[in-house]
Chains A and B, each alone.
Chain A
């Protein structure tokens, strides 16, 4: 119950103020189509430099939580999901709004999000210390395989193509080797002075997530969003609570599905929402009402996409393996303060770790309260023209990446990676495995070298890296994730027409 000991720290004036700021700002940013939670958190990192580590994390954590929930506002009122995690919410949420139940849909979505979110954070609270203790037994060979596992799982599960996902991971791992080698001090792949010190993770994250969005907004030209905001009539909040608890099967399915999916690295909120929606439909006594503005659809989808937020941080905080792109960005937020997550985090920095986790718990409640009141404002922000949004994001990306080290080289790195990522995405490559490769590359290399040294002095490289039950288990998971993804790809190819695939890609991009 260590988390209760640090609960008071969340309520210091600065921490609570930052929590409020992150929550309200996140709700508004989340409602803005094109501003994904990952991108919003990446753009916020430069603002945390001058804060204490736990303050910075509180801000980033609150933004993460509430951007996911905020995306429901535009999904319900505009039929434009604020983030991929809210795709399932549009199915019934927007139909409810069309029927004059917009306020009810918003209330259900925020209440379900908060309940799912609290459950997810509680899972984070109780699972993390147990796994962290277990992770203390990891040696260099295990950490090497774990890093490879992180890149492989995200590369295979998060991408439409296994080969391109793995290739994206390899590009990230290679980018991580640029600069001076830690042991020999040798120069590696330094083809421009801007990368002589290696590639800084923060500008890279900003570029990889923000710039492709900016260019995508450019591709839409001078078109205006003709989506109309549906007016919201008043609806007693008490009735929304009654409705949520009346639909407890959908709530339970959404919460449990989201929590389980959150624990699996690489499977994001979009999958959580859609799987929960699908399962709720199967188990519902009113399955025929799904898609016609049924409250269970909104409750299941929203409880799932917020329930996955807490568990998605478990691999990051225990094993230093970010389970999602947003977790990778949060890792960047920790690294700039010289804090490296992993088993030691709860021993060396318990205040930082627990205050951050506690703030996410409180943040869920604040998100529910404020979400209900600022939904209208958030929906208006969602109609900001693409031109304004693209120019704002570009400006923030340039200033944000420069402010990391006051270096114009970082701006060049940000822009170059972002530009390349846009084109790579158009050809089926994915940013998530690339980012994971970039972040996990140094961990993989350091442990590979350390393990090789131990192996050379003891049992030999082959035996050291390929024997022992934990090595086998990790290798097995790597192979299983690749095999599963290849099988899924073959099945999808068999049952999906080319038109379906093109339409799906267009929708996701």
Chain B
């Protein structure tokens, strides 16, 4: 195992240990105690296993999990940023259909292997986006009658 995954394992298992210990602390200190009997049971096991994992990571004895390589991180980052903005902000602020159209088109443009210099590729991306949105509108708005937040443009 190289140093990068080892450090990543330490950070990841450290975070999980912090979560496990926090849950255990809350479970054993919150009132009414009767409501926290089961969480106490779970969080005790959770905390013990999390600490065990953390100690193994520190000792460099983690055998499972390859971590995230720099290349994978670089590739995913643009898409992840678009997805996060879409889910946590745009869907509510711009409306589901508007935000999905924009996010879908951006993701397609970012990851589609077709060359960016050809007009044909852009037309294809636009057509795929339009087709997908038509299907989504037909399914969710017409067939399932799902009421989504008000759209910014209509």
Which residues of A approach B to under 8 Å, CB–CB?
A: 46-47, 49-50, 159-161, 163-164, 166-167, 170-171, 173-174, 177, 181, 183-184, 186, 188-189, 214-215, 217-224, 385-388, 390-392, 394-396, 398-399, 402-403, 406, 408, 411-412, 415, 419, 423-429, 441, 444-445, 448-449, 452, 493, 498, 501-502, 505-506, 509
Contacts and interface: CB of A to CB of B under 8 A. Distances in A.
Contact of B76 (A188, A219, A412): A219
B66 interface: yes
B88 A415 contact: yes
B87 A387 contact: no
Contacts of A448: 37-38, 41
Interface in B4-38: 8-9, 12-13, 16, 20, 23, 26, 30-32, 34-38
B144 interface: yes
B136 A385 contact: no
A184 B36 CA distance: 10
Nearest to B52: A163
12 contacts: A49-B144, A164-B53, A170-B45, A170-B49, A184-B32, A184-B34, A392-B132, A415-B88, A419-B84, A427-B62, A449-B37, A452-B37
B146 A399 contact: yes
A426 B67 contact: yes
Contact of B100 (A173, A390, A399): A399
Contacts of B63: 160-161, 428, 493, 501
A174 B76 contact: no
Contact of B96 (A46, A183, A188, A398): A398
Interface string B84-101: 101110011000100010
B64 A391 contact: no
A415 B87 contact: yes
Contacts, number: 193
Contacts of A509: 66
Nearest to A220: B75
Given A184-B34, A221-B75, A428-B62, A214 B113 contact: no
Contact of B91 (A398, A423, A501): A398
Interface residues of B, number: 72
Nearest to A177: B39
A222 B112 contact: yes
A224 B128 contact: no
B86 to A, nearest CB: 7
Interface of B: 1, 8-9, 12-13, 16, 20, 23, 26, 30-32, 34-39, 41-43, 45-46, 49-50, 52-53, 56, 62-68, 71-76, 78-80, 83-84, 86-88, 91-92, 96, 100, 103-104, 107-108, 110-113, 128, 132, 136, 139-140, 144-149
Given A223-B113, A406-B147, A448-B38, A167 B53 contact: yes
A377 to B, nearest CB: 17
A272 to B, nearest CB: 22
Main secondary structure of the interface of B (DSSP, over half): helix
Main secondary structure of the interface of A (DSSP, over half): helix
Contact of B64 (A223, A388, A412, A505): A505
Nearest to A159: B64
Given A391-B132, A415-B87, A427-B9, 6 more contacts: A171-B46, A186-B35, A188-B30, A406-B147, A428-B63, A441-B42
A35 to B, nearest CB: 15
A189 to B, nearest CB: 7
A402 B148 contact: yes
Nearest to B76: A218
B13 A427 contact: yes
Nearest to B145: A50
Nearest to A429: B65
B49 A163 contact: yes
A8 to B, nearest CB: 27
Contacts of B80: 215, 218
B65 A428 contact: yes
